[in-house]
Chains A and B, each alone.
Chain A
Amino acid sequence: MSAILQLTRLAIKLKRPEFEFAEYQDSPIAPLEKPLNKCSLALVTTGGLHIQSDPPFDFSMKEGDTSYRIIPTEADPAEIRISHNWYNHKFINADINCVFPIDRMKEYLNDGTIGSLSKEHYSFMGHIYDTEALIKRASYLGRHMKDSGVDIAFLTPT
């Protein structure tokens, strides 16, 4: 275990004595079932992004806000807000692609690298201590994405 991970665990323990990082021994793998240029891609971020007209994430929740917000592909970047207060917004305010590379993905769509972009992308918050609730939410989102024809989730952190 790295020293940084040990320190992170210790710091979290001071605030959340009952919290343990989830750990797994196996890796479920969904291989691509068709060429990349036939696949539909959605972005998923934990950057706490939301459209201005949607409610912000709730920082008052002790176990973390496990909800997610939909960011439409055609959203005006000027409409996108960040309600994740635990990182510096200077960089994303200058270029949203630092966290949410939507412009790059539109370019990959236009040059035929990917088959399509999902109409919806998704943003969560980080700092979630209720992992069971997050797991239920992730499973629900996965089924929704599959039903929407999405093949690939490209995940970015804060």
Chain B
Amino acid sequence: MGLLARFLELEDISTICITFRKDIVQLIRPPRILSLKFSAGKPLGMPGDINTQKGIIDAGFKLLEKEIKGMTVIDLPFKLKKMSTL
């Protein structure tokens, strides 16, 4: 995913990368990374957890509006919720 972001940026498309494997994505150095301690199949959290989905997207929009000088990584504090509590 980092490669896609890198080469979209080179075509003048601003990107945000969501990742649960920042160790790998950081090798590519895309400019804007949101890192979460989630896992495959649910990178934006559990089904129906709209607050977490919106929290992640809001963080992405905030980072897009920020002037950055190089790769910027934001560790987001969201935690996976139990499906039964949603």
Q: Which residues of A contact B (CB under 8 A)?
A: 1-2, 4-5, 8, 21-32, 36, 39, 44, 46, 86-92, 94-95, 97-99, 101, 104-105, 107-108, 113-114, 124, 126, 131, 134-135, 138-139, 141-143, 145-146, 150-158
Which of A21, A107, A152 contacts B64, CB < 8 Å? A152
Chain B min CB distance to A39 (Å): 8
Known: A29-B31, A152-B15. A91 touches B41 (CB 8 A): yes
Contacting pair A138 B65 (CB below 8 A): no
Give chain B residues whose Cβ lies under 8 Å from the Cβ of A8: 24
In the complex, the number of residue pairs spanning A and B with C-beta atoms less than 8 Å apart equals 177
CB B30 to nearest CB in A, in angstroms, measures 7
A88 and B41 within 8 A (CB):
yes
Instruction: From the candidates B8, B11, B42, B70, name the one contacting A91 in the complex (CB within 8 A).
Output: B42
B6 CB–A CB distance under 8 Å: yes
The number of chain B residues touching the other chain, given as a range, is 35 or more
Contacts of B42 in A (CB 8 A): 91-92, 98-99
Interface string of B19-52 (1 = CB under 8 A from A): 1110110011111000000001111111110100
Contact A138 B61, CB 8 Å, known A157-B20, A158-B43: no
B5 with A155: CB separation less than 8 A: yes
CB pair B46–A98 under 8 Å, yes or no, is: yes
Please measure, in the bound complex, the distance between the C-alpha atom of A108 and the C-alpha atom of B83, giving whole angstroms.
Answer: 25
Q: CB < 8 Å: which of A94, A150, A158 contacts B13?
A: A150
User: Taking the nearest CB of chain B, how far is it from the CB of A69, in angstroms?
Assistant: 14
Residues of B within 8 A of A29 (CB): 9, 31, 68, 70
Minimum CB–CB distance from A113 to chain B (whole Å) comes to 7
Q: A91-B41, A101-B44, A154-B16 are in contact. Are A24 and B6 (CB under 8 A)?
A: yes
A155 in contact with B13 given A22-B3, A28-B6, A124-B4 (CB within 8 Å): no
Contact across chains for A155 and B15 when beta carbons are under 8 A apart: yes
User: What are 6 A-B residue pairs whose CB atoms fall within 8 Å in the complex?
Assistant: A4-B23, A5-B24, A31-B68, A91-B42, A97-B44, A142-B12
**A26 CA / B31 CA spacing, docked (Å):** 9
- Residue B8 contacts which of A36, A99, A153 (CB distance < 8 angstroms)? A153
